[in-house]
Amino acid sequence: MYLIRKYAVDTSSASNLLDWFKPYEDFAYRKVGSLQTLKGKSHISKAIMAKSDSPYSQDLIDKMVLLIKEELHHFYQVLEIMQARDIAYEPIPASRYAKGLISHMTTHEPQTLIDKLIIGAYIEARSCERFAKLAPHMDEDIAKFYISLLRSEARHYQDYLALAEAIAGHNIDERIAYFGRLEADLISSPDSDFKFHSGIPA
């Protein structure tokens, strides 16, 4: 959502995106709404227009709007599972993982955007791997859900990398490897905060 609002769409479309996201944001951060108020809200009904002065806007919009739809639908599915199991929704602080990668981004464009996309790819790819590792140990309904999620994550990380390389206009293997080393350290070093993307439990 942040990437296409910042880099890809005109002002009116940025507002439309915020409107689309608002019911989820209200629920997640303000405890406003319910599973019922989110039902069927994962699809955007308003037009999204690309910035005329950005050569990669349309590619970002095409891939990211689809990704957002999928993620919002997944969020709703998680809430359904939690409700069925009588688990209350509670916001939790983010782990060090994404913040640790973001702190190493370059601060000039378009390299900042390229770095953000590479980081997004690592987050999705690591999610894919961890869903695959966890699925065999879960109840059958959760295992099936995790397998469906890992298939989406596999597509998402490939989309992020394809966009990053298209925007760079050259081979980005060296930059991918750089973030790979950072990411490897984050998941293999001791971590006092146990979460989906945390490192080794301290």
Which residue do the tokens 């509670």 mark?
Answer: 90
Q: Determine the Cα–Cα distance for residues 42 and 143; give it in Å rounded to an integer.
A: 23
pTM of the model: 0.93
| Model confidence at 51: pLDDT above 90 | no
Per-residue pLDDT band for 56 (boundaries 50, 70, 90) equals confident
Coil/strand/helix, residue 87:
coil
pLDDT of residue 100: 97
Residues 6+ apart with CB under 8 A from 96: 186, 191, 193, 198, 199
Residues 6+ apart with CB under 8 A from 161: 117, 118, 121, 176
User: Would you call 109 exposed, middle or buried from its count of C-beta atoms within 10 A (0-12, 13-18, 19+)?
Assistant: exposed
Q: What is the pLDDT of residues 146-198, one digit of tens each?
A: 999 999 999 999 999 999 999 999 999 999 999 999 999 999 999 999 999 99
Q: What is the mean pLDDT of residues 132-150?
A: 95
Q: Determine the Cα–Cα distance for residues 66 and 77; give it in Å rounded to an integer.
A: 17
Coil/strand/helix, residue 9:
strand
